[in-house]
Chain A
């Protein structure tokens, strides 16, 4: 009997007899029926990192896929030597998605593939873990959200600062920030500044080169499949592995690389998981149509006046607080202009607990803390910035219709044509 059929035969009951560890705080034994499996698409950089290239009793690694045979072979060997498992290897991601021994599809490709793969995985009945940025266009993000919902899938967007870890150079986790904002002590509306001075590095080294010499495609790489839905451009090493972020066709530089890491927690802190900004304003040098460049500032405004301000590299006020409200400011290291703020916060409720164990969410079919809905919203903030940056102008946005207002060219960037035969 195949594993899948076995699970179905057992029904959901067995899945549910185990007490979630976070509630009782104890060690949990994983029953074999509770064990999940995952397949990773894209085992070059992040997909083969120690963080994700794992195999344990709660989740077994069963399959990997890559269009670079060097990556695939190295990963297969790594799985065997380091993890002690024989994994199925695929060149075509659709074969991995169809593999009945895969419960969770982990998408670790460059972003231009995220949308298509996530939608197809959901249509094939798989749960999905997707690296950030969720998608490289707003239209693709919407399709992912719809497909996940329609098929009743569990989706995790892989950034985590809204629920764990010190938030970069800010020197604090996000939880007390959320508590402070919810307490109202800072007043409303709030302005959040994400700059070098508040602890965040926009990684401007992810810029592209404008005059790439065509090169011969190495024999290990299926460049056509690597490009997939992206427009055809002559191969140059700099377009692909490690440096693809410098090209609009695949990603959006440091903004897209770090944007969702930095912005998603802000969306959470401001309580904006169900809406989007109504205006994006950019100040940047002219962008090349292919190679991503740098920018000075990107400013987002919500309809209630809350603002998120991204300052590139050295721009912005060195003394800017991270959060500024009419009644107080909060700086790096949780330094606050409100005296004795820690003591005062004792009078307020903690933020609501979040579901932060993805595998448990898969087992219990509960939405993960950062899912297809709020993940789509924070990816949209990044992508609004990308659109404004590429067009070099400020754009108005309708957060209900998820379209730009009065700008056809900007809306063209929401749904970009894909190279035939790809479609989302």
Chain B
């Protein structure tokens, strides 16, 4: 199969015209193919779009023309679908992978343009050639330049097609004043040579816009003649900006000479520019000179540093960056010092120069505070050790913010100056300690510890704050003891330091920290709770739980417990919360927070949320939970959230959760969802309500497309009644949370158990019951209960016609009376060979008196009499030892001979789809 399709594709590639077949493989003519495509466009994905484009293109030029002729003038409109198609075709053929279709598109468009009787339509069609047009198209389009309405689009489109230079020259030679602007830009865009003379002629008597266009074009394609012309024009404008933008065009043309390294021309031109009063023109001249002469422009740049205009100096400095050797740096300093120190200092820092360090360091004493700031930054950028030490006297002065910001972000070694400051004046000490608080430096630990004993209160306070910046994992013992003895005001600092030191701690280190904690009085103990919470290991949590049990430390311990980011703690919290009336609300809030963060299955999460909602907490907690429910994306969450729509305090959140789940699951398309969403439209009133309402409408449109199941004429005549048509479970009772509607099917997500069953509302005695089922995963197990009461095991208290993917290896040991279709335990079925998973199967259950017949996929697999099958002995005779029933499974089936009862689906877990359920009473 695959081989053939490769050959076909190859043929298509070679002979685009042969494929102009009358009909396609589905026997559709071109107009049908186009109509079908228009119906689907815009395609939802690329594969679909590509398929449609190929289908249209394979109808040949005829299809393209037919499509294009459907266009109406823009002033009439209604073209959206056709534009999707035509634009999509052009995008498709412009993809190098689809090149073989390009000619069909070209031919088709050309024919359509000829055929169209409206210039608006023609203009749109002409513009479509951009991106894939060919030489033939260029010749064709040249004709349309004569049409005043189409000249612009035709010229622009021609210019966009590679290899069109010759045509543009032809057009230029035959231009009219009206189309010169657009031609000039076309010449510029394609750098069309040998047009300079024509362009210059156009200037004669031209309007401002045409002048602008011509100057622009000359700046791209012009040579010496243009240079002379533009130079004079720019000079006459005093190099000012004007609507002809001639100055900019002149600079652009000079740029061409600069690229060619034509020094003489550029030097001549820029000499005048440098004298201009316009700073930006001075700077442009400097740029051009550097572009032309490279490093040879260094003298000019260095000279510019003496310019009194800061803009010029800064531009020169910027251009000097790549040339910054020691000579240049020395000259920069020489030319700028005294007057513009800050500028020079900033620059030296940016280029990382070390040769002028002495100058930089000297500026630390400058009276110009900006220069001092720049000197500090430069020194730290340069990273020289001696230079760094020179900053020491400024520690703790008004320059401290500049020092700190540079030191905490530098990648250079800055330790020495901080050590020195820690040994310096009190002011310097405080400044250094302040830096340690933001960037760690463990080798300074002993110095900081010493300063923690300082008699200067400010130094002492700063030292405690700096503790976290110098402690490492080896400090654990020290910090543990310190926390016990330290004055109250420093507790937080020591806690912060402990946490920092434990950031990378191994479990053993953490355990040691806690184990060695002894002889702590109950008053002091809470100081450690924050640490326990941070350590977040089982030993620490045990300690906190112990603290929680004691009345004196309960609150502190609880605070700590509730701050722990550990999803495994969730159930513990639930258990203490359920018994702690005073704190229940905040404990449960944390519990649901952790549940939301956990990796538990969505259904488990929802069950947790339901537990807490059942405690009827305050509205804010309810809202939080309803918000978390959104992440479960479960149908059941929609159902539960809907209970909270009536309470004003929770209605908005509930509405949002429902919308946010429902609109992401078009497969939830039962009537219940539609009704709920319509109801929510009226409830929503938050900021996004308008937007959400539109979203609901769009979604309802989408899900309304699900077809309803309808009886065939035969079944109608026979008197069948539909029990499930794909939209609602109105004729059913029981577990509607476990059996939900998805894509017009009943999807079984029920767990095993009596509550997980879905029952018909009515009871049935003799009947024909028909439905279709589909296994979505291996090993699905369910069953049809018949003549059964509710909430009992239908297999024994009624009958269960087995539904089972009996081929799954997990059922290797299955007994014959358990295979699919069996009257469970009573009449074995012929073993069905199921098609692959995901395929729909039909089933009919016929029950009349004792006669049961089961037909699957047209094959009768059970046809028997339940009374005969057990010799009338559905239960074991009472009182006899080891007595057994007469059924094949020897179990009691007390409900086997029930006269009537419900029909049910007996859920045994996820993975079954059911549809088209109907029944006829006999």
Contact of B409 among A153, A283, A350, A408 (CB under 8 A): A350
Please state if B181 and A421 are interface contacts (CB–CB under 8 Å). Answer: yes
B111 proximal to A (CB < 8 A): no
Question: Which of B43-51, B581-589, B779-787, B897-905 binds A?
Answer: B43-51
The winner among A94, A390, A391, A423 for most chain B CB atoms within 10 A is: A423
Please state if B309 and A8 are interface contacts (CB–CB under 8 Å). Answer: yes
Please state if A205 and B42 are interface contacts (CB–CB under 8 Å). Answer: no
Contact of A417 among B160, B308, B310 (CB under 8 A): B160
Q: A11-B309, A23-B370 are in contact. Are A393 and B46 (CB under 8 A)?
A: yes
Bound Cα distance A118, B251 (Å): 17
Contact of B83 among A150, A213, A289, A407 (CB under 8 A): A289
B241 proximal to A (CB < 8 A): yes
Residues 193-213 of chain A: 1 if any B CB is under 8 Å from the residue's CB, otherwise 0? 000000000000100001111
A123 proximal to B (CB < 8 A): yes
Q: Which residues of B lie under 8 Å from residue A205 when comparing CB positions? A: 691
Kindly provide the distance from the CB of B44 to the nearest chain A CB, expressed in whole angstroms.
Answer: 5
B667 proximal to A (CB < 8 A): no
A6 proximal to B (CB < 8 A): no
Q: A152-B280, A205-B691 are in contact. Are A353 and B241 (CB under 8 A)?
A: no
A110 proximal to B (CB < 8 A): no
Question: Which of B352-360, B397-405, B546-554 binds A?
Answer: B397-405
**How many residue pairs at the A-B interface have CB separations less than 8 Å?**
221
Kindly provide the distance from the CB of A357 to the nearest chain B CB, expressed in whole angstroms.
Answer: 14
Residues 96-135 of chain B: 1 if any A CB is under 8 Å from the residue's CB, otherwise 0? 1000000000000000000000000000000100111000
Bound Cα distance A397, B36 (Å): 36
Kindly provide the distance from the CB of A182 to the nearest chain B CB, expressed in whole angstroms.
Answer: 10
Question: Which of A250-258, A340-348, A376-384 binds B?
Answer: A340-348
Please state if B42 and A25 are interface contacts (CB–CB under 8 Å). Answer: no
Residues 134-153 of chain A: 1 if any B CB is under 8 Å from the residue's CB, otherwise 0? 00000000000001011111
Contact of B408 among A24, A150, A340, A349 (CB under 8 A): A349
The residue in chain B whose Cβ has the minimal distance to the Cβ of A214 is B75
Q: Which of B259-310 contact A (CB under 8 A)?
A: 277-281, 283-284, 286-287, 308-310
Please state if B409 and A19 are interface contacts (CB–CB under 8 Å). Answer: no
Q: Which of A407-424 contact B (CB under 8 A)?
A: 407-409, 412, 415, 417-421, 423
Please state if B287 and A16 are interface contacts (CB–CB under 8 Å). Answer: no
Contact of A421 among B45, B80, B130, B213 (CB under 8 A): B213
B152 proximal to A (CB < 8 A): yes
Bound Cα distance A343, B500 (Å): 5
Q: Which of A263-287 contact B (CB under 8 A)?
A: 283, 285-287
Contact of B42 among A286, A390, A420 (CB under 8 A): A286
Please state if B84 and A286 are interface contacts (CB–CB under 8 Å). Answer: yes
The winner among A13, A283, A421 for most chain B CB atoms within 10 A is: A421
B156 proximal to A (CB < 8 A): yes
B649 proximal to A (CB < 8 A): no
Q: Which of A336-363 contact B (CB under 8 A)?
A: 339-340, 343-344, 346-353
Q: Which residues of B lie under 8 Å from residue A285 when comparing CB positions? A: 42-45
The residue in chain B whose Cβ has the minimal distance to the Cβ of A153 is B280
Please state if A123 and B245 are interface contacts (CB–CB under 8 Å). Answer: yes
Kindly provide the distance from the CB of B509 to the nearest chain A CB, expressed in whole angstroms.
Answer: 13
Bound Cα distance A283, B373 (Å): 51
Residues 486-510 of chain B: 1 if any A CB is under 8 Å from the residue's CB, otherwise 0? 0000000000000110111000000
B638 proximal to A (CB < 8 A): no
The residue in chain B whose Cβ has the minimal distance to the Cβ of A98 is B241
Q: Which residues of B lie under 8 Å from residue A212 when comparing CB positions? A: 77
Please state if A349 and B49 are interface contacts (CB–CB under 8 Å). Answer: no
Q: Which residues of B lie under 8 Å from residue A350 when comparing CB positions? A: 408-409, 438-439
Kindly provide the distance from the CB of B62 to the nearest chain A CB, expressed in whole angstroms.
Answer: 23
Q: Which of B330-347 contact A (CB under 8 A)?
A: 339-340, 342-343, 346
Please state if B243 and A94 are interface contacts (CB–CB under 8 Å). Answer: yes
Q: A125-B278, A211-B79, A288-B84 are in contact. Are A349 and B411 (CB under 8 A)?
A: yes
Kindly provide the distance from the CB of B54 to the nearest chain A CB, expressed in whole angstroms.
Answer: 14
Q: Which residues of B lie under 8 Å from residue A308 when comparing CB positions? A: none
Residues 307-347 of chain A: 1 if any B CB is under 8 Å from the residue's CB, otherwise 0? 00000001000100000000000000000000110011011
Q: Which residues of B lie under 8 Å from residue A19 when comparing CB positions? A: 369-370, 373
Size of the B side of the interface (Cβ < 8 Å), in residues, is 100
Bound Cα distance A129, B216 (Å): 25
The residue in chain A whose Cβ has the minimal distance to the Cβ of B499 is A343
Q: Which residues of B lie under 8 Å from residue A40 when comparing CB positions? A: none
Q: Which of B31-60 contact A (CB under 8 A)?
A: 41-46, 49
B248 proximal to A (CB < 8 A): yes
Please state if A365 and B503 are interface contacts (CB–CB under 8 Å). Answer: no
Kindly provide the distance from the CB of B113 to the nearest chain A CB, expressed in whole angstroms.
Answer: 17
Kindly provide the distance from the CB of A361 to the nearest chain B CB, expressed in whole angstroms.
Answer: 11
B88 proximal to A (CB < 8 A): yes
Q: Which residues of A lie under 8 Å from residue B247 when comparing CB positions? A: 123
B423 proximal to A (CB < 8 A): no
The residue in chain A whose Cβ has the minimal distance to the Cβ of B76 is A214
Kindly provide the distance from the CB of B136 to the nearest chain A CB, expressed in whole angstroms.
Answer: 17
Q: Which residues of B lie under 8 Å from residue A346 when comparing CB positions? A: 438-440, 468-469, 500
Bound Cα distance A5, B663 (Å): 64
A366 proximal to B (CB < 8 A): yes
Please state if A407 and B503 are interface contacts (CB–CB under 8 Å). Answer: no
Please state if A408 and B94 are interface contacts (CB–CB under 8 Å). Answer: yes
Please state if A16 and B340 are interface contacts (CB–CB under 8 Å). Answer: yes
B95 proximal to A (CB < 8 A): yes
The residue in chain B whose Cβ has the minimal distance to the Cβ of A341 is B503
B616 proximal to A (CB < 8 A): no
B313 proximal to A (CB < 8 A): yes
Please state if A407 and B96 are interface contacts (CB–CB under 8 Å). Answer: yes
Q: Which residues of A lie under 8 Å from residue B88 when comparing CB positions? A: 286, 392
Q: A150-B284, A346-B439, A350-B409 are in contact. Are A214 and B185 (CB under 8 A)?
A: no
Kindly provide the distance from the CB of B791 to the nearest chain A CB, expressed in whole angstroms.
Answer: 37
Q: Which of B727-766 contact A (CB under 8 A)?
A: none
Kindly provide the distance from the CB of A181 to the nearest chain B CB, expressed in whole angstroms.
Answer: 15
Kindly provide the distance from the CB of A61 to the nearest chain B CB, expressed in whole angstroms.
Answer: 22
Residues 181-219 of chain B: 1 if any A CB is under 8 Å from the residue's CB, otherwise 0? 110010011000000000000000000011011001000
Q: Which residues of B lie under 8 Å from residue A39 when comparing CB positions? A: none
A12 proximal to B (CB < 8 A): yes
Please state if B370 and A409 are interface contacts (CB–CB under 8 Å). Answer: no
Residues 396-414 of chain A: 1 if any B CB is under 8 Å from the residue's CB, otherwise 0? 0000000000111100100
Please state if B162 and A408 are interface contacts (CB–CB under 8 Å). Answer: yes
B870 proximal to A (CB < 8 A): no
Q: Which residues of A lie under 8 Å from residue B318 when comparing CB positions? A: 152
The residue in chain B whose Cβ has the minimal distance to the Cβ of A119 is B248
Please state if A214 and B77 are interface contacts (CB–CB under 8 Å). Answer: yes
Chain A residues with a Cβ under 8 A of chain B: 8, 11-13, 15-16, 19-20, 23-25, 94, 97-98, 120, 122-125, 147, 149-153, 205, 210-214, 231, 233-234, 283, 285-291, 293, 314, 318, 339-340, 343-344, 346-353, 364-366, 390-393, 406-409, 412, 415, 417-421, 423
Smallest CB-CB A-B distances: 5 pairs: A12-B310, A152-B283, A409-B94, A409-B131, A210-B80
Q: List 17 A-B contacts (CB under 8 A).
A: A13-B308, A15-B310, A23-B402, A122-B280, A125-B278, A125-B279, A152-B287, A153-B280, A211-B80, A231-B127, A290-B83, A353-B409, A392-B88, A409-B94, A417-B189, A418-B185, A419-B152
Supplied contacts A16-B343, A392-B49, A421-B181, 15 more A-B pairs, CB within 8 Å = A11-B309, A15-B310, A20-B373, A120-B245, A120-B248, A151-B280, A205-B691, A214-B75, A286-B42, A291-B80, A343-B499, A343-B500, A366-B314, A420-B182, A421-B209
Chain B residues with a Cβ under 8 A of chain A: 41-46, 49, 74-75, 77-80, 83-84, 87-88, 91, 94-96, 127, 130-132, 152, 156, 159-160, 162, 181-182, 185, 188-189, 209-210, 212-213, 216, 240-243, 245, 247-248, 251, 277-281, 283-284, 286-287, 308-315, 318, 339-340, 342-343, 346, 369-370, 373, 398-399, 401-402, 405-406, 408-411, 438-440, 468-469, 499-500, 502-504, 534, 631, 633, 663-664, 691
